Amino acid sequence: MSKPFKRILLTGAAGGLGRLLRERIKPWADIVRLSDMADVGPAGEGEEVVRCDLADKAAVLALMEGVDAVLHFGGISTEAPFDAIMQANILGMANMYEAIHKCGVKRVVFASSNHTMGFYKTTDLVDADMPPRPDGMYGISKVFGESLSRYYYDRFGIETVCLRIGSCFPEPADPRMMVTYLSADDLVEALRCSLFAARVGHTIAFGVSDNKAKWWDDRKSRHLGFVAKDSSTPFEHKFPDNGNYAPADNITITFQGGGFLLTGPQYN
């Protein structure tokens, strides 16, 4: 039986989320092309492995050949000095979308981040139409990616879902993650919906499970059809004060970005 896509490209395949997704996206495509600067290991059945530096424009163009859809998880995934962020997340993003345009790819899921909105307070309820308030250079690079993908949709009709991923780990590690927790199953389902929805235009969605405490209002992406099945509730016994996640003098508690608020410009 033919699969929905002939070839899906997964960038950042050597990263934590890339490794998680590698096997789970195989039912969606005849071939999954795995790419990273780091070693992802040998190609398995139904896989291709292409090592690529996203800052290399020619290499990215070659990487995109024959691709039907892109799951873009590549780049730096934490706060870092701007020079590194610039190469991987900004120049790399520009190279990606130019290659996507030239190769005729029509559907992209961009792994954006909750850190695009990290300077909203923990008492705020944020939706996709509110102005970005990034909490560091990493968050700024994701805002750039969201804006760039919007341009390529407006100018060339390339549809993108920008998924502002919360905290996708086996379980929450602190009270903040009780709010931002995203289970692996919910991440995969959000990606599936983003790829298979009939029309997505340019959508900003929040990648989060159905947790009790909420900072993000995702009603503007309901057309994707994503419904979270999991929740951080099974872990609430570890953080009994979760319901009182209130402002305090510590900015990592006052604002949604958490520990990312203490990094950033000090690197320069």
Phi and psi at residue 103, to the nearest 5°? -95, 0
Considering the candidates 97, 120, 138, 152, report the single residue annotated as catalytic: 138
Report how far residue 237's alpha carbon sits from residue 233's, in angstroms, rounded to the nearest whole number.
Answer: 8
Q: What is the greatest pairwise CA distance in the chain?
A: 58
Report how far residue 170's alpha carbon sits from residue 239's, in angstroms, rounded to the nearest whole number.
Answer: 16
DSSP per position, 37-54: SS---S--TTEEEEE--T
Q: Is 3 exposed, middle or buried (0-12, 13-18, 19+ CB in 10 A)?
A: middle
Pseudo-torsion of CA 232, 186, 194, 196, nearest 10°?
-150
Is-catalytic flag, 138?
yes
The kind and range of the H/E element at 31 are strand 29-36
**Best CA proximity match to 51, nearest among 42, 16, 78:** 42
Pseudo-torsion of CA 224, 229, 232, 233, nearest 10°?
140
Q: Is 199 exposed, middle or buried (0-12, 13-18, 19+ CB in 10 A)?
A: exposed
Report how far residue 202's alpha carbon sits from residue 18's, in angstroms, rounded to the nearest whole number.
Answer: 23
Q: Is 168 exposed, middle or buried (0-12, 13-18, 19+ CB in 10 A)?
A: buried
| Active-site amino acid positions | 138
